[in-house]
């Protein structure tokens, strides 16, 4: 987590750095080129974790869930006022991004991580798994005019909304109209272990059929082959 802002030092001599978490996989042949193109003239290309399809942000229980589950993590990282601010300014996932080598984002991200580590140590509380993502969010929100924000389908969080399956192609689609193709899938839904991420889930096809499938690449590839035959 603390190494991520230092990628240009570990892997020098590149113009743009693209990061994909190890529990993501690329679902379309154009996804990476789009991510790289988006950062042209910007300091970062990143994907907000707020989307019209994500149920955790809508409904009568949405605020309750955020206050009970997300706010305590922010409180372990940030002073009270800033922790509450983070709830309303919109979260971005650090699991997929592109950053040019000369972007000031790198240094500012590292500095914010240092501040969070110091603050959490002062409270003697455990760090949550989103501490470096929180730091990146602070930096990006301060420089939002210099950031490119891609749609959620470029880092689709499986646990936030299950995709539709196209009956003919087997492609993964956004569950809300116009059902755009999901470009990069992020297997955040059933814990951190490999078996949890391969858990079979009941989902709908675009025609309304119910099917059960895992969402790792091998399972979806097999499903696509089956749908085409």
The answer to whether the Cα torsion of 155, 158, 159, 162 is positive or negative is positive
Angle between helices 131-142 and 105-123 (to 10 degrees): 130
Count of CB atoms situated within 10 Å of the CB of 185? 22
pLDDT of 184 strictly over 80: yes
Which tokens sit at 167?
Answer: 């009956």
Give the global pTM.
0.92
Q: What is the pLDDT of residues 25-70, one digit of tens each?
A: 999 999 999 999 999 999 999 999 989 999 777 777 777 888 888 8
Distance CA(174)–CA(152), nearest Å, equals: 9
Contact present, 174 and 182 (Cβ < 8 Å): yes
Whether the CB-CB separation of 160 and 93 falls below 8 Å is answered with no
DSSP 166-180: -TTT--EE-SSTT-P
User: Tokens for 118?
Assistant: 């110091």
- Share the mean pLDDT of the chain: 92
pLDDT over threshold 90, residue 203: yes
């Amino acid at each position: 987590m603390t190494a991520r802002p230092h990628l240009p030092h570990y892997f020098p001599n590149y113009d743009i750095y693209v990061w994909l978490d190890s529990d993501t996989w690329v679902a379309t042949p154009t996804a990476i080129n789009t991510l790289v193109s988006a950062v042209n003239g910007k300091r970062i290309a990143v994907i907000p974790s707020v989307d019209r399809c994500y149920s955790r942000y809508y409904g009568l229980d949405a605020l309750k869930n955020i206050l009970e589950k997300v706010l305590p993590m922010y409180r372990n990282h940030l002073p009270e006022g800033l922790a509450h601010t983070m709830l309303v300014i919109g979260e971005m996932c650090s699991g997929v991004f592109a950053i040019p080598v000369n972007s000031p984002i790198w240094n500012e991200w590292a500095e914010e991580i240092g501040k969070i580590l110091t603050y959490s140590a002062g409270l003697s509380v455990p760090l949550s798994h989103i501490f470096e993502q929180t730091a990146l969010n602070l930096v990006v929100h301060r420089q939002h005019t210099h950031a490119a924000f891609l749609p959620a389908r470029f880092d689709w969080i499986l646990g936030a909304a299950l995709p539709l399956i196209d009956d003919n192609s087997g492609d993964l689609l956004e569950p809300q109209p116009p059902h755009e193709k999901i470009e990069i899938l992020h297997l955040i839904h059933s814990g951190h272990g490999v078996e949890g991420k391969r858990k079979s889930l009941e989902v709908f096809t675009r025609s309304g059929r119910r099917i059960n499938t895992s969402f790792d690449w091998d399972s979806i590839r097999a499903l696509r082959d089956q749908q085409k035959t």
